[in-house]
Amino acid sequence: MMENEMKSCRNVNENPCNMCMPMGGIIALKGIAGSMVVLHGSQGCSTYMRRHIAEHFNEPVDVGSSSLNEKGTIYGGAKNLEQALDNVRRVYNPHVIGILTTCLAETIGEDVERFADEYKQKNGLQDFPLVTAPTPGYGQSHDEGYWFTAKRILVCLTETAPKHDRLNIVIPHISPADIREIKRILGLMNIEYTLFPDISDTLDRPHERPYTKMTSNGTALADIKTMSGAAATIQMGVTVEDSFSPGKYLKDTFGVPLYRVPLPIGMAGTDQFMETLQEITGQPMPASLAQERGRLLDGMIDSHKYNFQGRGMIFGEPELVYSITKTCLENGLHPVVAATGSRNARLGELLQPSIADGGEKIHILSETDFCHIKNYGEEAGANIAIGHSGGRYLEERAGIPLVRVGFPIHDRVGGQRLLSVGYTGTMLLLDRITNTLLENKHKSYRKKMFEQFYQAAN
């Protein structure tokens, strides 16, 4: 059940909780080894997105643009796109190029799939991997842009392949540190896998000299081609619509069994991931991971007495919001608002049983903005916000402290190093939440006690 009406907010999006669709598409493409992206549209789109992504990851982020001007807008942008593709090939020599559209290109009805085919024919590049994805900025949010582009990458690049033992691990947009943690867990379990898309070493590269424009890191093209023959796909994406789901595409097209699990955040979320791995591979959980699980349980017991005082507003990309909301619930912190800027009906459906469990109401907001999040949260007595740095609005206007997690984080460094998945990552996330509650409590509890005492005495 989604509820977005709040009279005190204007009937426009005021401080949006999401970004536009091609932004997510760029991030998905940056997870492919040797890839380069061209945005078909005006130059400002690519400048804005490069800056937005670069500020979060503190990395140089190159994104080409077809630089549509007035002439291209009226007569069609094929020439601009052709020139952009020529330039990108000459300067970067990429192994894969992704072409994403923007508001302008979609509004004038550009057929990029046809352009891509004609470009390949004209330049003798029939086998060159070109991925096209229509991603109008006004279409959906960056989250749908990410999933849709990830699916388009598979549609354009995956081929029929012989069966093999590797697992496909399809992930939502999470931090490079989270991706490395998932890879560590898979390594401890001795599992062969293709993790897709993998930005852990493309958008969080070690410092190197000489600097190279392209990196060989990311999901290898050869592995993407053979994802069709995998033993199974584990898609960390329970909120993803079927039409955007890479795992569903592999299942429907190539018969790869699909296991949908939530992000492994929280005890139950991580257990579900581990149990799925054990079910598919028959491998037991290694002793070292069992110890990490035990430490998390111990930490949950330690911090429960503080967390039960928490009333949280959780916001951001739906998959992250779902997993963090469940983690809060299992630690006694009541989520009063679970919100996303995306148009996502599944988030509400999935969280509904948690509400029906007899607990206090959770306001579940979809396609929302920070005005609504703030007002619903204040009304419900929220005392902590958990999400990306757009939530500083809540700190500034309502004095509610923010635990930063997700994308984008622009007002702090280290967003790419925030670890929140697995038993160890959950413990770190929980500590960040608990310590924020404690810090805030100690700032004001004497004043509050005095006020309560004064009121009682009068």
Q: Which residues bind ligand SF4 (CB under 6 A)?
A: 20, 22, 41, 45, 48, 102-103, 137
Alpha helical stretches, state H, 59-175:
70-75, 78-92, 103-107, 112-122, 142-157
Query: To the nearest whole angstrom, how small is the minimum distance from the Cβ of residue 119 to ligand SF4?
Result: 22
- Residue placing its CB nearer to ligand SF4 in the complex, 104 or 339: 104
Query: To the nearest whole angstrom, how small is the minimum distance from the Cβ of residue 369 to ligand SF4?
Result: 15
Contact assessment for residue 40 and residue 110, using Cβ atoms and an 8 Å cutoff: yes
User: For 136, which DSSP code?
Assistant: -
Query: To the nearest whole angstrom, how small is the minimum distance from the Cβ of residue 45 to ligand SF4?
Result: 3
Crossing angle, helix 422-457 and helix 176-188, to 10 degrees?
130
- Residue placing its CB nearer to ligand SF4 in the complex, 17 or 103: 103
Q: If you search the block for the tokens 């919100």, which residue do you land on?
A: 339
Do strands 96-101 and 167-170 pair parallel, antiparallel, or not at all (unpaired)? unpaired
- Residue placing its CB nearer to ligand SF4 in the complex, 43 or 253: 43
Amino acid, single-letter form, for residue 64: G
In sequence order, which residues have a C-beta less than 8 Å from that of residue 444 and are 6 or more positions away?
none
Query: To the nearest whole angstrom, how small is the minimum distance from the Cβ of residue 19 to ligand SF4?
Result: 8
Query: To the nearest whole angstrom, how small is the minimum distance from the Cβ of residue 68 to ligand SF4?
Result: 11
Q: Measure the N-to-C terminal CA separation of the chain; round to a whole number of Å.
A: 43
In sequence order, which residues have a C-beta less than 8 Å from that of residue 332 and are 6 or more positions away?
304, 307, 308, 310
Q: If you search the block for the tokens 């907010």, which residue do you land on?
A: 9
- Residue placing its CB nearer to ligand SF4 in the complex, 48 or 393: 48
Report the alpha-carbon distance of residue 357 to residue 41 in Å, rounded.
48
Query: To the nearest whole angstrom, how small is the minimum distance from the Cβ of residue 102 to ligand SF4?
Result: 4
- Residue placing its CB nearer to ligand SF4 in the complex, 14 or 192: 14
Q: What is the 3-state secondary structure (H, E, C) of 266-287?
A: CHHHHHHHHHHHHHHHCCCCCH
- Residue placing its CB nearer to ligand SF4 in the complex, 48 or 148: 48
Query: To the nearest whole angstrom, how small is the minimum distance from the Cβ of residue 106 to ligand SF4?
Result: 9
- Residue placing its CB nearer to ligand SF4 in the complex, 20 or 430: 20
What are the DSSP calls for 395-448, one per residue?
Answer: HHHH---EEE-SS---SSS-GGG---SHHHHHHHHHHHHHHHHHHHHHHHHHHH
Query: To the nearest whole angstrom, how small is the minimum distance from the Cβ of residue 77 to ligand SF4?
Result: 14
